[in-house]
Amino acid sequence: PPREATEDELAAVHDRAYIRQIKEVAGEVAREEQHGGRKTRFFATDTYISAQSYAAAIKAAGAPLTAIDA
């Protein structure tokens, strides 16, 4: 299975503030969802974010790294 990319690996291609923002918004959506609120939030002009968006992103980024490490 693919490993999760680290924040340092993500920061090779994304600004750390952007990474933190994605992680924080996903956490906020998770808390809202637990209290019966929205399951997604409009994040950018063409992007929705869910409680699992950050987890999915670090797995997706980690998949090719897993292949490289093999």
The answer to whether residue 8 scores a pLDDT higher than 90 is yes
The answer to whether residue 63 scores a pLDDT higher than 90 is yes
Is residue 60 helix, strand or coil? Answer: helix
pLDDT tens sequence across 12-40: 999 999 999 999 999 999 999 888 888 88
What is the pLDDT, as a whole number, of residue 41? 86
Q: Do the beta carbons of residue 50 and residue 39 sit within 8 Å?
A: yes
